[in-house]
Amino acid sequence: MVEHAARHPLFYRDKLNVSEAQFLSDEHLAHFRERLHVEIVDGAHYFYLQRAWHAEQIVTRFVSDRLKLPELKRDLAWVAKYVRTESRALAAAINGFDTKGFCDERTQMMNSAMTQRLYCATGRPGSGKSQAISELLKRFDAANERTVVLAPTGKAALRLNAEAPEGANWEAETIDRWIWRMGLGDYLSDGADLMAMSRAPRFEQFDNLIIDEMSMVNLYHLALLFRAIEVHQPTSTLRVILVGDENQLPPIGCGKPFHDVIGYLRGEHDYQIANTVRLTTNCRQRHDTTVIEAAHLFAGKNRYQGELYSQLREGGKVSDYLDVRYFSGAQELQSHVADFVTTTLDDAVPDHRDRSPQEAFNLLLKLYDKGHVPSNDAAALALDRVQLLSPYRGGPTGALGLSGFMRDTYRPDAKDDAWQQKDGFVHSDKIVRIRNHYVFNKKTKQNELRLSNGSVGVLCGSRRGWKAFFAESKWWFDWGWLDSEDFELAYGLTVHKAQGSEFEEVLVVVPERRTLLSRELIYTAMTRSKTRLTLLVEKSQRANPLTVARDRSVLAQRNSSVFARPFDAARLFEPENGVKVRSKIEYMIYQALLDARNAGELSFSYETALDLPFGERIVTVHPDFVVQAGGQTYYWEHLGMLDRQDYARDWRERRRAYAAAGHEAFLLTTDDLAGVRADQLAQVVRDITTGNLAGRADLGWSLHHYTL
């Protein structure tokens, strides 16, 4: 610890005057024993905060115990009619709607979510998660079951309530709000011992728990919720349902519990079928599949859209709803941003060229041309009509820089009148709340969430005073009662701030700066758009920022031992110095090939470039492993997401390219949908070294497909 602290950039070595003897004093050792837990695995020491260790144990135990409970007996006769009715309505509204895929997914989800004691639903935006959850909540209400609906952010909770039907018997609230309301707030502190939790007098019993936006829920919050159930109602909880998108950014806090739970369920065949579903069917009317396919290039291991990725790297108009442009410097960036807004105005405000920029932009947001809110009704505004996003806050490419450019361009006249300026904002500014705002309700004698961290609104000034309007609130707010320090301009937002929100048209700036770039960040940014998406990528003398992001995963680098032995995530995917693979299964395959190479049986390389013909285009792809043995070259592709329809479709396209290049006879594929057996992995390597490829051709993935 002393050595690590001495190397830390926040410490000055000459100021760090401590010795090992000081740490080994009885007083300090007692403190370490109280706050730290040490696990020894294969001779390596893994240090945990006691709080983190207990939280992981709680999540592991709770999920395991729920999976052991008997199924609920429920009448499911309504499911077939509901799915049929929904599919017909969607098919009538959406061209090329995948009726079979929708019916299969929705039937599986409804049957299992009604009967299983723990259920996880994951899917991208537009896949129908909210509609499915709404139907389940309606069924729970009809059965007189009390359901607690939680979300990690106030913004998500308010969105759920806005979608609730009239007369619903549930009201979504934030996890923090519920915890405090139940009298469990003290367990959120750093030194709290969840294992010592006692019954809280204010705890209210419930039948079902649904948590939305699970990718944003950190380990400590989820463990506290699970522990509360263990302590207060260990046998009476009917269902726990977790909903989210596993490919989005992980929580800002500790851990990646949703990803861990989903991974565990998928690793067990029975649980994969009964306790989880991945929704992939498009349920959104205005939709371009190219946008989602491009986003999935940054989701996990989906690398089989070689031609599409090449188009992203080259730039230009990829489809009617996807445009990729490259810029160099602030001036070119701002020019592209102005072009993007102008194109949006062409669609939404046809006469905008005859108006001032300020009037045109006001009309785009459905304000009056002078910037006031029609009938003081914020719900009628279109503040989500267009949104700029960036990974960062500062600099010309960051959210603050983008917001500043937008205001200078589309709010120039507001600075001319003194009454149109207030606290650094101007009349009709688009603003965002940066922390939750609670108001005390005298009737219920409780604080109620009125504005959430991330709520976007508009600030309107006049000689009679200033008002702030937010679509999530039934009331306007007197600006004098609010603290201006709690707000920022919202023309540009960070991707983290936008997580959980959707906008009509989105422009995403991808700077060369690498600090925060990751595939989860780009995926999250690209899936915020309901319709048109524009990527502005900064030109670089180094690797393309999209390539940098695609090769980096913040999820993979998070240490977690939920359902697993501890390991160092920073080194897990580095099987030998200088080589980093993308997943645990690739690490296992690499190690198996490495053993064979050390025995002199073969040689191999990882993700070597290979040109393949996709129709009339030659596209550079990177096979997982290229293996040389017995004078022959083999191509080994691991297919890790064959349960996803779009992934399977993209792989079939790549297989045709392998065949066109004359490589199909020496192409072998593997999957780990049912887990991985060491003996089966070793058999694949033996088949390569002996030149006797076997595997199954009847499955259609390759002439030599192995299930590991």
In this predicted model, what pLDDT tens digit does every residue of 636-682 receive, in sequence order?
A: 999 987 767 777 888 888 999 999 999 999 999 998 877 788 889 99
**Rounded Cα–Cα distance for residues 20 and 2 (Å):** 7
**Rounded Cα–Cα distance for residues 455 and 487 (Å):** 10
Q: What is the pLDDT of residue 565?
A: 79
* Tokens representing residue 571 in the block: 């080194």
**Within 10 A of 16 (CB to CB), how many other CB atoms are there?**
11
Q: What is the pLDDT of residue 116?
A: 97
Q: Which amino acid is at 142?
A: A
Q: Are 520 and 548 in contact (CB under 8 A)?
A: no
3-state helix, strand, coil in the chain (%, to 5): 40, 20, 40
Residue 423 has pLDDT above 70, yes or no: yes
Q: Which 3 state secondary structure label does DSSP give 697?
A: coil
Question: Which of 147-161, 218-232, 378-392, 528-542 bottoms out in mean pLDDT, i.e. has the lowest?
Answer: 147-161
CB-based contacts of 408: which residues, under 8 Å, 6+ apart?
Answer: none
**Rounded Cα–Cα distance for residues 215 and 246 (Å):** 6
The confidence band for 417, taking pLDDT boundaries of 50, 70 and 90, is low
**Rounded Cα–Cα distance for residues 223 and 336 (Å):** 45
Given CA atoms 92, 93, 95, 99 in this order, what sign does their dihedral have? negative
Mean pLDDT, residues 521-527 = 95
Q: What is the b/e burial string over 648-685, where b = at least 16 CB atoms within 10 angstroms of the residue's CB?
A: eebbeebbebbbeeebbebbbbbbbeeebeeeebeebb
- Which is nearest to 496 in space by CA: 400, 599, 402, 390? 390
Q: Is 450 exposed, middle or buried (0-12, 13-18, 19+ CB in 10 A)?
A: buried
List Cα–Cα distances, 245 to 109, 140, 305, 532, in angstroms.
15, 23, 21, 21
- Could you list the beta-strand ranges (E) of 495-644: 505-510, 533-538, 603-606, 610-614, 617-621, 625-629, 632-638
Q: Which 3 state secondary structure label does DSSP give 667?
A: strand
The confidence band for 44, taking pLDDT boundaries of 50, 70 and 90, is confident
Residue labelled with tokens 């009847």: 698
List Cα–Cα distances, 28 to 17, 32, 383, in angstroms.
16, 6, 55
Mean pLDDT for the chain overall: 88
User: Which residue stretches of 575-707 are H helix?
Assistant: 584-598, 645-660, 678-690
**Rounded Cα–Cα distance for residues 401 and 389 (Å):** 11
What is the Cβ-side half-sphere exposure of residue 289, based on CA atoms within 13 angstroms? 14
Per-residue pLDDT of 269-304, as tens digits, reads: 788 889 999 998 888 766 678 888 899 889 865 555
Q: Is 358 exposed, middle or buried (0-12, 13-18, 19+ CB in 10 A)?
A: buried
Q: What is the b/e burial string over 583-613, where b = at least 16 CB atoms within 10 angstroms of the residue's CB?
A: bbbbbbbbeebeebeeeebbebebbeebebe
Q: What is the pLDDT of residue 393?
A: 92
Per-residue pLDDT of 544-601, as tens digits, reads: 999 999 888 888 888 888 988 787 665 667 788 778 887 778 888 999 999 999 999 9
Mean pLDDT, residues 151-176 = 86
Residue labelled with tokens 């062409």: 346
Q: Which residue has the higher pLDDT, 186 or 42?
A: 186
Q: Are 126 and 93 in contact (CB under 8 A)?
A: no
CB-based contacts of 310: which residues, under 8 Å, 6+ apart?
Answer: 617, 619, 620
Per-residue pLDDT of 222-259, as tens digits, reads: 999 999 999 999 999 999 999 999 999 999 889 999 99
Q: What is the b/e burial string over 330-340, where b = at least 16 CB atoms within 10 angstroms of the residue's CB?
A: eeebbebbeeb
**Rounded Cα–Cα distance for residues 259 and 248 (Å):** 10
**Rounded Cα–Cα distance for residues 613 and 94 (Å):** 32
Backbone φ and ψ of 163, nearest 5°: -90, -5
Residue labelled with tokens 């006249």: 413
Mean pLDDT, residues 492-510 = 93
Q: What is the pLDDT of residue 343?
A: 95
Whole-model pTM over 0.85: no
The confidence band for 328, taking pLDDT boundaries of 50, 70 and 90, is very high
The confidence band for 23, taking pLDDT boundaries of 50, 70 and 90, is low
* Tokens representing residue 249 in the block: 């950014």
Q: What is the pLDDT of residue 418?
A: 54
Mean pLDDT, residues 78-97 = 91
Q: Is 533 exposed, middle or buried (0-12, 13-18, 19+ CB in 10 A)?
A: buried
Domains and CATH numbers, the chain: 1-51 (no CATH), 56-279 (3.40.50.300), 289-299+316-539 (3.40.50.300), 584-707 (3.40.1350)
**Rounded Cα–Cα distance for residues 142 and 652 (Å):** 45
What is the Cβ-side half-sphere exposure of residue 364, based on CA atoms within 13 angstroms? 26
Mean pLDDT, residues 306-327 = 91
Q: What is the pLDDT of residue 475?
A: 82
- Which is nearest to 504 in space by CA: 388, 397, 393, 403? 388
